[in-house]
Structure 1
């Protein structure tokens, strides 16, 4: 595993915690040079929904390294509320933090991905892009992740002439600091999730990172426009 990404420059957003942190760690173990971006606690601090800030940061990265071989858009944020309780402001904030947060870094990185000659973009949809989880107030999140799924198929088409592959991973429930708060707030949630899964366990960031590692590597050179469900079988029923 040490050399699978040797010589590659990877940019990972949302890399301070959760899935993004797990991906960044796995990529470094595999030999990649990793640039971590987050609001705080990473190599670069950036509000990834700020168009000017994103453009400036990726211009800086492009000048420093000359290319980007791998872009992992792991940063995301969602407000969870039932439709009758969700304000329009929270709806818009969620969509910006699920969709704009992928669009803006990808657009800014695009010329540097083209310079790679063999680049990989990895986005995160969700099991929620395919089904609703009973008891989960995830309306805006479902809409945002469904959008990421569709956006990435289009990116695969637009990227193909430039040797840029684009794929999604659709995680099920993954244990992170953020999702642990949901588990603590609703003692019945873990049982509901496991009841939906084929495998009676909850996922960990490392489970997602291993799939991202493969998609980022040359082993997946013939894979684009694909979505990989890593959800304990929840969407396979």
Structure 2
């Protein structure tokens, strides 16, 4: 791969989340996996989940090899209300409560409007990017209130505010735009309970899925790089470090905010 994919700060051990319990979804790959490992490396007890059993087991294995605290519920379908409730129950059974919810799991289908199927692409994307956040927040809310507050971190996208030429991302834009708006409302509702809710809007990040897409369509990569002020594509670690900050006590006066972690792509 070219150097445009490198230079992210790797997972490092520390104490920024010492003693906290964090729910992290989508731990099998990409941003969710990196958040789970980095949170654990920074002292958190992580309770994760994924619908992909083998991928989740691999992440748990990697955490165990490093002596990190990571439990996982898998398979877990968070697009089903019972799946979200099971994850909360699973976490409460292992800890007295939890302090952080990281909604990293998502699914999105990409197609142009005239080619997009309503049920399997449009509706499934809104379920996999918007409903999935609502359902876990709803399930986790009583436990966060009982805890005396906490932090919720949602993932919107650069596509929530800008359109990238050549990207058939209609459903994805709608889903992530909804996450952005929902985050502000949740922050207002959570404020009296000590619950902070923020979002991160990543630009193009290298994951297994995006890597395959970029290799198939190098012109897409060229357009994305043309928008970047840093001259490279993001790495999951770039996003996970921002999540660590928002989960930590360092961010105790930050809520209803969206953090663009995109190499400056949405600034021009």
Determine if the alignment matches structure 1 residue 147 to structure 2 residue 178. Answer: yes
- Residue 266 of structure 2 aligns to a residue in which SS? coil
Pairing partner for 1:80 from 110, 135, 140? 110
Pairing partner for 2:147 from 97, 116, 132? 116
Asked if the contact 1:66/1:115 (under 8 Å) is kept, the reply is: no
Partners of 2:83 and 2:191 lie apart in 1 by: 27
Partners of 1:187 and 1:107 lie apart in 2 by: 40
Give the length in aligned residue pairs: 237
User: How far 1:25 sits from its partner (Å)?
Assistant: 1.2
Partners of 1:210 and 1:57 lie apart in 2 by: 24
Partners of 1:35 and 1:146 lie apart in 2 by: 27
Determine if the alignment matches structure 1 residue 18 to structure 2 residue 38. Answer: no
Pairing partner for 2:200 from 169, 183, 188? 169
Partners of 1:85 and 1:129 lie apart in 2 by: 21
Q: What is the TM-score with the length of structure 1 in the denominator?
A: 0.97
User: How far 1:128 sits from its partner (Å)?
Assistant: 0.1
Asked if the contact 1:59/1:108 (under 8 Å) is kept, the reply is: no
Partners of 2:91 and 2:103 lie apart in 1 by: 15
Partner of 1:3: 15
User: How far 1:111 sits from its partner (Å)?
Assistant: 1.2
User: How far 1:29 sits from its partner (Å)?
Assistant: 1.1
Partner of 2:85: 55
Asked if the contact 1:13/1:74 (under 8 Å) is kept, the reply is: yes
Partner of 1:137: 168
Task: Name whichever of 58-67 and 224-233 sits farther off.
Answer: 58-67
Partners of 2:14 and 2:231 lie apart in 1 by: 31
Partner of 2:247: 216
Partners of 2:45 and 2:94 lie apart in 1 by: 12
Asked if the contact 2:49/2:87 (under 8 Å) is kept, the reply is: no
Q: What is the TM-score with the length of structure 2 in the denominator?
A: 0.86
Determine if the alignment matches structure 1 residue 44 to structure 2 residue 73. Answer: yes
Please give the root-mean-square deviation of Cα atoms over the aligned residues, in Å: 1.1
Partner of 1:67: 97
- Residue 189 of structure 1 aligns to a residue in which SS? helix
Which segments of 5 or more consecutive residues in structure 1 lack a partner in the other structure?
Answer: none
